[in-house]
Structure 1
Amino acid sequence: MTLTGKVDITLDEAGIAVISFFHPSHNSLPGALLNELAQTILQAGKEERVKVIVLRSEGERTFCAGASFDELISIQNKVQGMEFFSGFAKVINACRTCGKIIIGRVQGKAIGGGVGVAAATDYCFATQQASVKLSEIALGIGPFVVGPAVERKIGLSAFSQLALDATEFRSAAWAQEKGLYAQVFETTEAMDAAVQAFAAKLATYSPDALAALKQVFWQGTEHWNKLLVDRAGISGTLVLSDFTRNFIQDFKLK
């Protein structure tokens, strides 16, 4: 747990592990929280008692607002920049390699890195409030780290639309049509009931079969350990630009 956010995990008798993260600034993810989230996912993947993982955030309006602006503006050099953006790489790669099926629960807006986290789950539920936006290019950095995960889920054409139309939200219905969300619900209560029922069903399946199926789902991503870190280097360099620093300062003054 950190002073500015937290990651929690619970495990019920059926073997359903619920990993939840929270940050008071719209569930943005500073580096310490990203590292803790990645480690929690990896550890749950090693637990034999865990049959399936549900990944969620707390609060009602925002699933995840992506990178922490406070931390972005504090980055002073390329090494620090690469280290910060590698946090999102760690979370995506943890979801990819943990060996357990991960169900996403997206109750509100997903922005930037938040879209990447949703895309890194294996089956994602959402509400009608769960609109998506990749705002990175407007900041001057681009969605380089989360890009492979998002493109894998929705295809290059839809990813390019999100990446370039960086100031506009796309609806949850759009995200479902493109394959990011499997199911979309009118209310959080209806979504949670569906998440619980689906998780309970998966928990009764063969763990070995689920693990093998997960490998099939992620086939062709074995190089992501290097790819996503390389991409973090691109963002870590761009974040030092005057364009990005001026944008963040102006945003924080609003």
Structure 2
Amino acid sequence: MSKSLSIEINASGIATLTLNRIERHNAFDDEFIVEMTSALEGLATNPAVRVLVLAATGKSFSAGADLGWMKRMASYGEAENLADAQKLAKLMHTLDSLPIPTIAAVQGPAYGGGVGLIACCDMVFASPEAQFSLTEVKLGLIPAVISPYVIRKIGVAQARRYFLSAERFSSTTAQRIGLVHELAPQDEVIVLAHSWATQLLNNGPMAMAAAKRLVAEVADRPICSELNDLCAKRIAAQRVSNEGQEGLTAFIEKRPPNWVKH
């Protein structure tokens, strides 16, 4: 792991992935994108990891794209830009589809792709100092790669405003439109994120992974017999799984299930 990223995994299985490019306001370039994708893939396959907290050091959570990276990409052709954009798309998809719960602790401003990282997380906590902006159109660009995640998070009506205006908005507004779940003082955001991560350890690991997949499968689909059948199959499979059986048995026997550490 380079100085740009750090990973800490505690004894309970909570991993903290921290963005450390303080001098660059945690902006990312092509190398950082590949490195972060690799780090997330490693966490996804690590059986010791139960929850991920995504955090950052310095004044900013992430300023989005690094200026030097953008200058290089401006001199490339369309094919090279496509390959580069696909790497960023892979990063966003990897974070979004991680099979463990993901919690963003946003201590400072997040712009452009930084908003994309936040939108890919399951839970988001932010400080009053955090500001947000989808700045791409100011540069004659568009937030294309992050758009599926941001639109899913804040909805079409808000995306049409903030994609076009590129305006900065507060953490209070971010909470109101659905990008952020809760607010906390700047020095308590990471504490709140870890508190929630600890609470999530009480839940079945496989059940949480299945619940994440369920949201993706059910979202924006019409309620019909096909969807009802899908949901019925999902709960039936979970009930007869080893984890489902253990959870139900533990509840009946009034004891903690075996995934809860004593």
Fold-level similarity (TM above 0.5) = yes
The gaps in structure 1 that reach 5 residues or longer are: 222-254
Is the contact between residue 46 and residue 98 of structure 1 (CA under 8 Å) also seen in structure 2?
no
Q: Cα deviations across residues 1-42 of structure 1 (Å, max 9, x unaligned)?
A: 45xx51211110111011112222111100111111111112
Partner of 2:171: 172
TM-score of the pair, normalised by structure 1: 0.81
For these two proteins, the number of residue pairs brought into alignment is: 216
User: Is 1:183 aligned to 2:182, yes or no?
Assistant: yes
Question: Which of 1 and 2 has higher RCO (CA within 8 Å, sep 6+)?
Answer: 1
Alignment of 1:76-225 (within 5 A): 76-166=76-166, 168-185=167-184, 187-219=185-217
Q: Secondary structure at the match of 2:16?
A: strand
* In 2: Cα distance, 1:120 partner to 1:17 partner: 17
TM-score of the pair, normalised by structure 2: 0.79
Q: Secondary structure at the match of 1:28?
A: coil
Partner of 2:41: 42
> How large is the RMSD of aligned CA atoms in angstroms?
1.5
Is the contact between residue 55 and residue 190 of structure 2 (CA under 8 Å) also seen in structure 1?
no
Is the contact between residue 21 and residue 58 of structure 1 (CA under 8 Å) also seen in structure 2?
yes
The CA deviation at 1:58 is 1.5
Task: Name the CA shift for 1:152/1:205 in 2 (closer, same or farther; >3 Å).
Answer: same
Is the contact between residue 129 and residue 186 of structure 2 (CA under 8 Å) also seen in structure 1?
no
Is the contact between residue 21 and residue 37 of structure 1 (CA under 8 Å) also seen in structure 2?
no
* In 1: Cα distance, 2:5 partner to 2:197 partner: 20
Task: Name the CA shift for 1:93/1:108 in 2 (closer, same or farther; >3 Å).
Answer: same
Partner of 1:14: 12
Task: Name the CA shift for 1:214/1:70 in 2 (closer, same or farther; >3 Å).
Answer: same
Which structure 1 residue ranges, 4+ long, deviate > 3 Å from structure 2? none
* In 1: Cα distance, 2:32 partner to 2:151 partner: 24
Structure of higher CA gyration radius: 2
Q: Cα deviations across residues 69-96 of structure 1 (Å, max 9, x unaligned)?
A: 2111112212321233223212210112
User: Is 1:74 aligned to 2:97, yes or no?
Assistant: no
Is the contact between residue 96 and residue 218 of structure 1 (CA under 8 Å) also seen in structure 2?
no
The CA deviation at 1:220 is 6.7
Q: Cα deviations across residues 92-141 of structure 1 (Å, max 9, x unaligned)?
A: 10112221110011111110000000000010110011111001011111
* In 1: Cα distance, 2:122 partner to 2:6 partner: 20
* In 2: Cα distance, 1:180 partner to 1:165 partner: 17
* In 2: Cα distance, 1:80 partner to 1:7 partner: 26
Report sequence identity in percent.
28
